[in-house]
């Protein structure tokens, strides 16, 4: 192959770190349809906080950011990292993937390789994406190659960065499987695992998050049981974890763009084959029920402390779907607030990690975390374990009217009034 020029399509939490990694070795074109995003990146600003301004400045001679698809024409390796969400019926929404593939059909040339990283069900790349690419008049394996290498980026994690996470790779035939593996092996220090087929690679990714979703659902169901028994779930787990083969997980909300979404892709594929993915869907239902459970326990604590429900003032600390990360996609924290509002309470939110743009997107006027009023709230709920919230119990209680009520969803405090 001629000198490699890598184009990364989609510059979000997955695409940008990957593009920056490739730019350490190759010329890279970073493409995104969001013109505001491109403008920020050209000014060495990454609002996701995954890549620092210093890092962007170091590679600015090796990476070109653009929202014009014609700027992709010089590339010969295309890596697609667009979102794969679900619709209102929890069915796969392949629209971003189809649009990206359709755009590339106007650009790809003989000898080019298109690699997909977006999470999909087994078979999606060849059944959905390749037909769009072949609208170019070129044929897969005869004129161009296709690969699949599932993303494994953990947003907000500064230890397990993209180059330190082993990469699964695959290709549309043996030649392209080797080519895809080599391109990733050249930048991923943790190494690669070459799968036997694209379908195997697709399946490997979707079961990673499905397994985690099912495991968390078990722990969440145990939390429901132990709450009625009157014992602390976290204490039970700490005791059980003294056995060597116990998997130590804690209850919690399951949101975000991966764990709360990917199982629906696998369930959809199973259903299309006439199978009933009962465990997968029951696990999703359990995890989706947790915000309502937290809201109900909050109301019970108001009653227990002889506080009026209607008109009570509740502060929720943390809105992002996970700790120490500004990502609000598919956050389940807002579901707690929505459930509480059904009881006639006033809900306020504060999160130092959320940008003004995202607050506006969520339709929320937040309380500035650095300026929280003292003695103002009937209840404070810690919904996300940001490092800023890991303080002594009394610091949080100071925000409350007496008697103070603290709800701890993430096990941050020593002695909350109730914790999940």
Report the alpha-carbon distance of residue 280 to residue 263 in Å, rounded: 7
Residue 387 near residue 361, CB atoms below 8 Å: no
Determine contact, residues 69/75, Cβ cutoff 8 Å: no
How many angstroms separate the CA atoms of 369 and 334, rounded?
A: 17
Q: For residue 75, give the nearest of 175, 3, 170 by alpha carbon.
A: 3
Burial 61-89 (b: 16+ CB within 10 A, else e): eebbbbbebebbeebbbbbbbbbbebeee
Q: Which of 20, 129, 258, 400 is catalytic?
A: 258
Residue 129 annotated in active site:
no
Residue closest to 183 by CA, chosen among 2, 18, 15, 4 = 4
Instruction: Name the one residue in this structure whose structure tokens are 């979000």.
Output: 12
Q: Could you tell me the CA-to-CA distances from 116 to 202, 217, 335 in Å, in that order?
A: 10, 29, 32
- Answer for the pair 67, 45: CB distance below 8 angstroms, yes or no: no
* Alpha-carbon gap, residue 55 to 132, rounded angstroms: 35
The span from the CA of 288 to the CA of 175, in Å, is 43
Residues in the chain: 420
Residues taking part in catalysis: 258
């Amino acid at each position: 192959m001629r000198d490699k020029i890598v184009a990364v399509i989609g510059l979000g939490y997955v695409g940008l770190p990957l593009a920056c990694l490739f730019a350490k070795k190759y010329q890279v074109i970073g493409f995104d349809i969001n013109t505001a995003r491109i403008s920020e990146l050209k000014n060495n600003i990454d609002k996701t906080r995954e890549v620092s301004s210093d890092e962007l400045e170091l590679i600015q001679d090796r990476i070109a950011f653009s929202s014009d698809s014609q700027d992709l024409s010089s590339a010969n390796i295309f890596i697609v990292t667009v979102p794969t969400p679900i619709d209102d019926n929890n069915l796969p929404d392949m629209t971003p993937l189809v649009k990206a593939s359709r755009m590339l059909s106007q650009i790809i040339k003989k000898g080019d390789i298109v690699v997909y990283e977006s999470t999909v069900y087994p078979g999606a790349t060849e059944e959905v994406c390749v037909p769009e690419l072949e609208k170019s008049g070129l044929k897969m394996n005869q004129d161009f190659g296709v690969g699949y290498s599932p993303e494994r980026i953990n947003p907000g994690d500064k230890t397990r960065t993209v180059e330190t996470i082993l990469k699964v790779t695959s290709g549309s035939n043996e030649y392209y499987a080797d080519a895809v593996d080599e391109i990733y092996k050249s930048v991923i220090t943790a190494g690669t695992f070459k799968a036997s087929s694209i379908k195997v690679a697709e399946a490997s990714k979707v079961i990673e998050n499905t397994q985690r979703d099912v495991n968390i659902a078990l722990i969440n169901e145990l939390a429901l049981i132990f709450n009625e028994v009157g014992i602390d779930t976290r204490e039970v787990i700490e005791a059980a974890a003294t056995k060597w083969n116990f998997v130590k997980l804690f209850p919690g909300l399951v949101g975000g763009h991966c764990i709360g979404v990917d199982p629906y892709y696998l369930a959809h594929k199973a259903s299309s084959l006439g199978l009933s993915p009962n465990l997968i869907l029951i696990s999703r239902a359990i995890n989706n029920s947790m915000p309502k459970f937290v809201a109900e326990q909050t109301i019970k604590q108001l009653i227990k402390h002889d506080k009026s429900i209607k008109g009570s003032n509740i502060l929720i600390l943390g809105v992002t779907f996970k700790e120490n990360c500004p990502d609000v996609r598919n956050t389940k924290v807002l579901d707690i607030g929505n459930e509480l509002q059904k009881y006639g309470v006033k809900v306020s939110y504060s999160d130092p990690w959320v940008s003004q743009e995202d607050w506006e997107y969520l339709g929320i006027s937040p309380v500035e975390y650095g300026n929280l009023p003292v003695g103002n709230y009937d209840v404070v709920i810690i919904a996300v374990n940001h490092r800023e919230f890991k303080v002594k119990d009394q610091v949080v209680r100071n925000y409350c009217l007496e008697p103070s009520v603290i709800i701890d969803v993430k096990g941050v405090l020593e002695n909350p009034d109730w914790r999940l």
